[in-house]
Amino acid sequence: MRVLLVHPSPLMYSELYLRLEPLGLERVAAAVRAAGHEVRLRDLQIFSHADYWKELADFAPQAVGFSVNYLANVPEVIDLSKETKAKRPDTFVFVGGHSASFVAAEFLEHAEGTIDCIVRGEGEIIAPRVLEAIGDPKLCTLPGVVTTSGAGPSPTLLDDLDRFLPARDLGRKRHKYFIGVLDPCASVEFTRGCPWDCSFCSAWTFYGRSYRKGSPEAAGEDLARIREPNVFIVDDVAFIHAEHGDAIASEIERRRIRKQYYLETRCDVLIKNQELFARWKRLGLYYMFLGIEALDEDALKAHRKRVTLNENLRALEIARSLGLTVAINIIADPSWDEARFAAVRDWALSVPEVVHLTVATPYPGTELWLTESRQLTSRDYRLFDVQHAVLPTKVPLKRFYELLVNTQSVLNRKHLGWGALKLYGGAALRAASRGQTNYLRMLWKFSTVYNTERQYADHLKPVRYEMKPPRPLLGLKPTKQDLYIHMPAPVH
Ligand code: B12
Ligand code: SF4
């Protein structure tokens, strides 16, 4: 069967800081191809809708699968599905991915029959089975599958992460993928899931709080196949188990792989596994993201981060002493006023790290989505991107965006524009000499992407598809069914 897999358009983040390969879709593509299908992949972060329509006409796929990891992409994919069915009514349309899994039923409703099924959870095992079941009423009985006529049991976890290494050969224009000065940049996955349970995060609810590791040999093999000099390690929390990180490091040394790496981890993991991170620094670890989230103990508790402020600060010192470029994130609450923004700005300017601000957002799939007591001010999927305020702001909304954008822009002077050239000019010019200009081009783009007027105007756009509000808990605790996509393993 001819199968076309599609990643939707870029998000606000990707217009500026990064653009990354659709690794999940590449893994699904590998599994579908292994089942004997002819597969193509089209990434609309790079290509236009016109390119998609042309491919639909030329390739004439019997099935089109969309990846929806981000809520902000839901309306686009609904519209693409509607038009795909209008142009080619016999094409089977299916949708998978992180966010699609959490809003499956309403996604189908909005699509008005133009999406044949949503696939909840991991895609590798189930996608080939879905294709096999096209036209068969048993489709809606498959694990994780939701159709308008019913839903199958909860999805099953992939037993072995080594089984389907990403089909990177299906990507086109790969030189467009980058993160900051790591330009161009590929992605790899060493582990999947997260054992923690932060209230604002859906990594643990998606994977049923499981944590799985691929083998160090497969990690080495995958890295050896990557042509790009830079690699984004997509694990939610990198190197939780030091021995796994060490084994991958040994594999890299054995194969003499030399690359630069970006990863994301927790402060307590960095503190615990300092030597491992030092080893990775020697192997090429360049850029690290630490989820600090808050500057006071109360907020850290509310996020259920399970780290203290002191640990966070200690981790920053360790990262500095290792000579890593570090980015951190602080969650800006819509209740923040002038004084709060000023305090955070002052702190952020006093540290050398790249500091990002995201807006606290109850995201479907998070515990916060179920427990947040404040009323949502918008249920427009497009505004659920942690750059917009969907909860009531203390200062008027426009003023909130002024404060947010001004703070971000002051902080960004450290690592965008001329400030960046001082720090990374050499690397940027080396990349440019190889024809890689993704990074250089982003340096002066900040105000076109992040600006008060644009963010405020986004709230005034007509809303064609509105998210369903969360089911009221009426004082009860969320159940497993409320929270999880993959159900946690029973405790013995
Ligand atoms: C890279 C990344 C990004 C990149 C996007 C890159 C891209 N091209 O997609 C950037 C940095 C832009 C980004 C932004 C955000 N991200 Co992000 N991101 C990730 C990250 C680290 C890796 C994604 C990945 O490659 N995973 C590995 C692959 C193998 O998994 P996968 O993509 O989920 O694919 C599997 C399934 O979902 C499914 N599947 C996927 N597509 C399809 C399609 C079909 C047809 C089928 C059948 C199945 C299927 O099968 C795949 C294989 O099992 C994940 C964390 C993670 N480890 O997954 C977070 C993650 C997805 N992001 C998350 C969040 C919260 C965000 C942000 C909202 C906030 C933030 N601070 O990061 C913003 C969103 C911005 C916006 N405007 O909406 C959350 C969850 C989002 C959600 N929907 O609830 C995650 C899980 C991180 C977390 N710990 O909370 N992110
Ligand atoms: S924020 Fe990080 S540590 Fe917390 S649950 Fe999500 S992935 Fe895990």
Rounded to an integer, the average pLDDT of 353-359 is: 91
Nearest-CA residue for ligand 1 atom 6 is 20
Ligand 1: atom nearest CA of 122 is 53
**Cα(70) to centroid(ligand 1), Å:** 7
| 157 alpha carbon, distance to own chain's centre | 19
The 10s digit of each residue's pLDDT in 152-200 is 999 999 999 999 999 999 999 999 999 988 999 999 999 999 999 999 9
- Cα 272 from Cα 419, distance rounded (Å): 33
Element (H, E) at 82: helix 74-87
The 10s digit of each residue's pLDDT in 196-225 is 999 999 999 999 999 999 999 999 999 999
Rounded to an integer, the average pLDDT of 478-484 is: 93
Provide the 8-state DSSP code for 18: E
- Whether the CB of 164 sits within 6 Å of ligand 1: no
Ligand 1: atom nearest CA of 264 is 21
Percentage with pLDDT > 90 across the chain: 82
pTM attached to this predicted model: 0.95
Rounded to an integer, the average pLDDT of 385-413 is: 92
Statement: residue 421 has pLDDT above 90: no
Statement: residue 11 has pLDDT above 70: yes
- Whether the CB of 291 sits within 6 Å of ligand 2: yes
Percentage with pLDDT > 70 across the chain: 95
Rounded to an integer, the average pLDDT of 384-408 is: 95
Q: How confident is the model at residue 15 (pLDDT cuts 50, 70, 90)?
A: low
- Whether the CB of 485 sits within 6 Å of ligand 2: no
Which ligand has an atom closest to residue 237 CA? 2
Ligand 2: atom nearest CA of 236 is 7
Ligand 1: atom nearest CA of 363 is 84
pLDDT attached to residue 431: 80
Rounded to an integer, the average pLDDT of 132-161 is: 97
pLDDT attached to residue 490: 77
- Cα 101 from Cα 118, distance rounded (Å): 7
- Whether the CB of 21 sits within 6 Å of ligand 2: no
The 10s digit of each residue's pLDDT in 274-296 is 999 999 999 999 999 998 888 88
pLDDT attached to residue 70: 95
CA terminus-to-terminus distance, the chain: 43
Provide the 8-state DSSP code for 142: S
pLDDT attached to residue 433: 81
User: Rounded to whole angstroms, what are the CA distances from 117 to 61, 111, 150, 365, 483?
Assistant: 16, 10, 10, 19, 21
- Whether the CB of 25 sits within 6 Å of ligand 1: yes
Rounded to the nearest integer, the mean pLDDT of the chain is 93
- Whether the CB of 289 sits within 6 Å of ligand 2: no
- Whether the CB of 142 sits within 6 Å of ligand 1: no
Statement: residue 131 has pLDDT above 80: yes
